[in-house]
Structures are given as C-alpha cells and as structure tokens.
Amino acid sequence: MYSVPFERRTASTVLALLALLALAEAPEAGAQSATTLTQPSNTKEFGLDAGALLGLGDRSSFQLTLPAARARIGFFLSNNSRWSIEPAAGLAYTKVQDVPYQFNYNLEVGALYHFSPPANLISATRARVAYLRPFVGMAGIVTGGNDGGSDNQLSAGAGYGIKIPLRSGLAFRMEANAGYGFDNDAFRLGAFAGVSWFGRSMSPTGR
C-alpha cells in the first residue's frame, strides 16, 4: 500500500478522474431483442480492484493502492437479475523486526442495482452494463505490543460504475464513489478499477 499526504495541487487531478468515471455513459435503450436474457440464480461475480481514496477530513489524505486494494464476490438474487449483494475486503499485515505488528482491514457490503440485465455482458452484442452501489463499510487498524490496541470506523456511501465485457464471462469494471465516515465526521471520494469473472454463464432463453 502506498500513501502520501494530500496536497491541494492534486485535488483537480483526482476530482477530474472521478468525474470521468462517474460520467461513463450508461448503455442506451435499444430495440428489444428476439430473445429474453435470463440469469441462473446462483451466478456469482468474482473480482479484484485497484483503488484510490481521497479523504476530506480535518487531516486530508490521498491513498493509491496497486495492483489490488480489495477482493470481492457478488451474489445475484434469485428471480431478479438486476440485483446482487456484494461483500468486499481489503487486508494488510505488516511486521518489522523489533517493531509491533500492524494489521489494517477494510470491509464493505454493497447492494448493486444494474440498469440493464447483467446477462447483456456476454450476449451476442456484449453490451456494457451500468450499476448503482450503495454500501456500508468498516475500516480499522490493530497494532501489537504492550502499547497496542485497535481503532475502527463505520462508513456509508454509494458508487456509480460500469462493467465492460472483455470476453465471455470476463469484464472490466470501474467505479466512482462517495462516502462518509461517522467517527471522524469526514467525507471521502473514491475510485476503483478492476476485473470481474462470472462463476456461471448467463444464457439466453427464448420468449
């Protein structure tokens, strides 16, 4: 994980990136296909994301994590192909000789609403799919040693993203999001970019 203090001259660059991600064009409504795309209820979406986070509290900060800030798995709901529940986690453990260990964690649970059926990702046209993701999260740190302890923070927010098909069952995904930390009363702006793999193919079914 690479972290640097936030400086005012970086604000315009970061906000411009977030704006480009948030304004990614959603798929346009077109003529109805001759088939209806359906999705098995046990379809899962596995993914890894790189991430950027801009904190806007009393002590502003900027954090960039490459190549992966978190791992996630999405569970699509039965009989409703547009909703999925997605837990995600980012973990880091650091131990230096003669220095107490440090364990960082970032856990989130989100609910994705897709503006078009996710099965479109691997349909004949492989259309991109936009989504909205409200989420709640818990981030914290645990340190060892005699003076060690723990600290955590609850946050909530929402993100807007888009999934772009690369090949059957594989998609590129990017998202811009905003959240609020309740313990330090701080706002944050974030962005993710990563890949998704779908655990079971979504298949077309005749009307």
Please give the pLDDT value at position 15: 52
Please state, as a whole number, how many other Cβ atoms lie within 10 Å of the Cβ of residue 188.
18
Rounded Cα distance between 148 and 91, Å, is: 18
Rounded Cα distance, 134 and 128, in Å: 20
3-state secondary structure of 203: strand
Averaged over 132-143, what is the pLDDT?
A: 95
Which residues, other chains included, contact 114 with Cβ-Cβ below 8 Å and sequence gap of 6+?
Answer: 81, 82, 83, 84, 129, 130, 131
Cα distance between residue 116 and residue 66, in whole Å: 30
pLDDT category at 160 given cuts 50, 70, 90 is very high
pLDDT at position 199: 81
Which helix (H) or strand (E) is 202 found in, with range?
Answer: none
**Per-residue model confidence (pLDDT) at position 203:** 43
Tell whether the model's pLDDT for residue 207 goes beyond 90. no
The candidate with the shortest Cα–Cα distance to 109, out of 139, 151, 131, is 139
Q: Above 70 in pLDDT, residue 4?
A: no
Question: Stretch 112-126: mean pLDDT, rounded?
Answer: 79
Q: What percent of the chain has pLDDT over 90?
A: 48
**pTM (predicted TM-score):** 0.76
Which pLDDT band, with edges at 50, 70 and 90, does 77 fall under? Answer: confident
pLDDT band of 88, cuts 50, 70, 90: very high
Whether residue 85 has pLDDT greater than 80: yes
Domains and CATH numbers, the chain: 2-20+40-200 (2.40.160.20)
Q: What is the average per-residue pLDDT within 67-94?
A: 90
What local confidence, expressed as pLDDT, does residue 37 receive?
43
Report the pLDDT averaged over residues 86-107: 92
Asked if residue 120 has pLDDT above 50, the reply is: yes
Distance, CA of 30 to CA of 27 (rounded, Å): 9
Mean pLDDT of the chain: 79
Is the pLDDT at 201 greater than 60? The verdict is no
What are 151's strand-pairing partners? 141
